[in-house]
Amino acid sequence: MAEEKQLFDYNEDSIKTLEWREHIRLRPGMYIGKLGDGSSPDDGIYVLLKEVIDNCIDEHTMGYGKQIEVTHEKGTVSIRDYGRGIPLGKVVDVVSKINTGAKYDSKVFQKSVGLNGVGTKAVNALCSSFTVTSFREGKMKSAAFEKGVLVREEKEQKTTEQNGTLVTFIPDDSVFKNYHFIHEYIDNQFWNYCYLNAGLALYFNGKKYISKNGLLDLLLRKTNADELRYPIIHLKGDDIEVAITHENQYGEEYYSFVNGQFTTQGGTHLAAFRETFVKTIRDFYKKDYDAADIRGSICAAISVRVQEPVFESQTKTKLGSTVVSEGGPTMKNFIGDFLSRDLDLFLHKNPAVADALKKRIEQNERERKELAGIKKLANERAKKANLHNKKLRDCRFHYNDEATGKEKDKILEKQKESTIFITEGDSASGSITKARNVETQAVFSLRGKPLNCYGLTKKIVYENEEFNLLQHALNIEEGYENLRYNNIVFATDADVDGMHIRLLLMTFFLQFFPDLVKNGHVYILETPLFRVRNKQETIYCYDNTEKQAAIRKLGGKPEITRFKGLGEISPDEFARFIGSEMRKEPVMLLPDTHIPQLLEDYMGKNTQDRQEFIIDNLKLELDLIEE
């Protein structure tokens, strides 16, 4: 007992003081959110990119620089802007001293994204190599760092380069393990920058991104013209811009921005928009429509600019500001006044649009009333089914809206990690349940193959027990914002049956909850196809290329096991495949994807495309088995 007490003594030696870079490397989640491997759009490596580009955007917003050039080649990222350039005497300090930067001077940077002077310091500390060069008024200066430590500082030199800043970095692979950039995520990120900064030209590996019409262009890219119920409403005012339309699909889809920052988790500005949009519509039509009917099938984007915004975390994914500026209007009043004036005027001037919008709302109203009785019965069945005991092995994590400060930062970090695995069969769900992290990972077990719901109405979600229970497990009955888990992962066998189950699940989500897919919440778990081992080492391989490399590495005649199903993988083995090194493939929709056509091709009649898709993937599966 004496030894135990001494071991846990709390005294002066327990108090540690860390240097800035040590703290960032010890607690990276506080600065860049979750680390991840690049399979999610909010993984840390994209935050590294964003933090540097945000500074370039702030320069452009202040009227300096109309072009930003980004390259990514062999793991190295380079970002060049043509702003004013960092003052040469402060090049080292700006990227390596916490609480140092021009963002504290509101006269220099007004309504910028970053205010705390932390972003580039975090990038510097989390990169194995980080170099910054400033070009300013015919002179230049460079400094190089490794994991935040200054290794080279050059003297000022003359240059003929245009003013601006060049940052080059390589993410530290000891921090970002097995990371990879998915260029489609970067593509979306760059388009968002352009939509919010009309006229700004961005280049990524030579590809040009530019927008002339702001949020109107965003919705044109995100929607399909054939699915719109009326032309996009595009309104602009001082420090606010909105674009609004309604589609034929289910759900609500929003894109919200603050000072050029894509707030993926919304915040006070989005909440104010959703609430005041409903009030404006009710006032215009002089009818007390249900809010769900007004917003059902909406696709909208909102961008606001505020002074000294308050975000709920360093990664700035959710706005917390309740006012637009010191002494200015509340967020709700600011957005509400704009909509009640400009949207009301637009609808009066465009009666055809107003009529189409009214018809969409009334259609939602009819469908909601038709489902009311069915939903009540479905909720009762879900309770009787004892969801949390028989179908769902829940995790211990639960989001707490009342948390504040550091506690809230920790909860937000865990929320990003929260995952639900959707499995089929007792053996697979049993293995995952035993191997999972009970703090953040849940398991939902399907009973057989789910129904092909293509072409069916939402009524089937409540009448079909599997779909009804899955909907309740995800907590999405009343809307996407109540989603219980950040990551929805299909965990099926790597065979034809497993692929069929994935397609059926994808049909369910695309048909009734497309916003979950569009916003990057749906993944497919990658599990190893082969285990190659000898007496000294075991290597798990995800494809034939990795298998052949493992055979060469181990030499001789190693034992090779082909996993035919998840149930064949022991819980001890499974733990490594769903832990920190989990491989999951994001389900992504290209901007020009037409969901109804996509579902028709793969889940409708026996089309030629579907036959070829099945034959090609069946051939791949047979090749794997034969090898």
* HSE-up (13 A, CA, CB side) for residue 451: 16
- Token couple for 394: 């829940």
Both 249 and 104 in one domain: the answer is no
- In angstroms, the CA 587 to CA 165 distance is 36
Whether the per-residue pLDDT at 468 is higher than 50: the answer is yes
Both 480 and 582 in one domain: the answer is yes
- In angstroms, the CA 536 to CA 111 distance is 59
Specify if 546 maps to a domain.
no
pLDDT band at 52 (very low <50, low <70, confident <90, very high): very high
* Higher-scoring residue by pLDDT: 528, 14: 528
pLDDT tens, position by position, 242-279: 999 998 888 888 999 998 888 888 889 999 999 999 99
Both 205 and 220 in one domain: the answer is no
Residue with tokens 């005497």: 89
pLDDT at residue 116 in the model? 39
- Token couple for 227: 């699915």
Question: What would the 3-class secondary structure string for 301-314 be?
Answer: EEEECCCCCCECCC
Q: Which residues of 48-62 are buried (b: 16+ CB within 10 A; e: fewer)?
A: bbbbbbbbbbbbbbe
Residue 43 burial (10 A CB sphere; 0-12, 13-18, 19+): buried
Both 254 and 334 in one domain: the answer is yes
- Token couple for 370: 């038709």
Q: Which is it for the CA torsion 303, 309, 311, 315, positive or negative?
A: positive
- In angstroms, the CA 315 to CA 171 distance is 17
Report the 10 Å Cβ neighbour count for 212: 9
* Higher-scoring residue by pLDDT: 107, 37: 37
* Higher-scoring residue by pLDDT: 16, 415: 415
Contact between 87 and 74 under an 8 Å Cβ cutoff? The reply is no
Domain boundary among 187, 209, 231: 209
Domain boundary among 160, 194, 209: 209
Whether the per-residue pLDDT at 610 is higher than 60: the answer is yes
Both 268 and 198 in one domain: the answer is no
Report the 10 Å Cβ neighbour count for 301: 27
Whether the per-residue pLDDT at 8 is higher than 70: the answer is no
pLDDT tens, position by position, 184-217: 889 989 999 999 888 899 999 999 999 999 999 9
Q: Alpha helices, DSSP H only, in 141-299?
A: 183-196, 215-222, 268-285, 291-295
Strands 538-541 and 530-533, sheet pairing: antiparallel
* % of the chain residues with pLDDT over 70: 86
What is the domain extent for residue 234?
Answer: 215-369
Whether the per-residue pLDDT at 558 is higher than 60: the answer is yes
Both 82 and 157 in one domain: the answer is yes
pLDDT tens, position by position, 395-453: 887 766 665 666 666 676 678 889 999 998 777 788 888 989 999 999 999 888 889 88
Whether the per-residue pLDDT at 590 is higher than 60: the answer is yes
| Cβ-based neighbours of 107, under 8 Å, separated by 6 or more | none
Q: Which is it for the CA torsion 452, 419, 191, 222, positive or negative?
A: positive
Both 227 and 190 in one domain: the answer is no
- In angstroms, the CA 259 to CA 58 distance is 9
Both 36 and 182 in one domain: the answer is yes
Both 182 and 73 in one domain: the answer is yes
What are the beta bridge partners of residue 131? Answer: 144, 168
Both 147 and 227 in one domain: the answer is no
Both 202 and 223 in one domain: the answer is no
- In angstroms, the CA 541 to CA 548 distance is 9
Specify if 454 maps to a domain.
yes
Strands 253-258 and 298-304, sheet pairing: parallel
Both 351 and 204 in one domain: the answer is no
Specify if 533 maps to a domain.
no
Averaged confidence pLDDT in the chain: 85
Question: What would the 3-class secondary structure string for 16-55 be?
Answer: CCCCHHHHHHHCCHHHHCCCCCCCCCCCHHHHHHHHHHHH
pLDDT at residue 117 in the model? 53
pLDDT tens, position by position, 60-111: 988 899 999 999 998 899 999 999 999 999 999 999 887 655 543 444 445 5
Whether the per-residue pLDDT at 560 is higher than 50: the answer is yes
pLDDT at residue 104 in the model? 38
Question: CATH code at 145?
Answer: 3.30.565.10
Q: Average pLDDT in the 366-388 region?
A: 78
Q: Closest by alpha carbon to 338, among 240, 458, 270, 203?
A: 240
Question: CATH code at 280?
Answer: 3.30.230.10
Specify if 378 maps to a domain.
no
Specify if 552 maps to a domain.
no
- In angstroms, the CA 302 to CA 336 distance is 13
Domain boundary among 209, 230, 247: 209
Phi first, then psi: what are they for 149, rounded to 5°? -95, 125
Specify if 3 maps to a domain.
no
Whether the per-residue pLDDT at 523 is higher than 60: the answer is yes
Specify if 534 maps to a domain.
no
- Token couple for 186: 């970067």
Q: How many domains does the chain have?
A: 3
- In angstroms, the CA 475 to CA 468 distance is 10
CA distances from 146 to 132, 139, 143, 153 (A): 12, 24, 11, 12
pLDDT at residue 269 in the model? 94
Q: Average pLDDT in the 570-576 region?
A: 85
pLDDT tens, position by position, 269-311: 999 999 999 999 999 999 999 999 999 999 999 999 988 888 8
Q: Which residues of 436-449 are buried (b: 16+ CB within 10 A; e: fewer)?
A: beeebbbbbbbeee
Whether the per-residue pLDDT at 473 is higher than 60: the answer is yes
The number of residues making up the chain comes to 627
Specify if 540 maps to a domain.
no
- In angstroms, the CA 587 to CA 521 distance is 8
First to last CA, the chain: 59
Q: Which is it for the CA torsion 68, 520, 313, 92, positive or negative?
A: negative
CA distances from 550 to 286, 534, 558 (A): 70, 11, 9
Q: Average pLDDT in the 522-541 region?
A: 90
Question: CATH code at 468?
Answer: 3.40.50.670
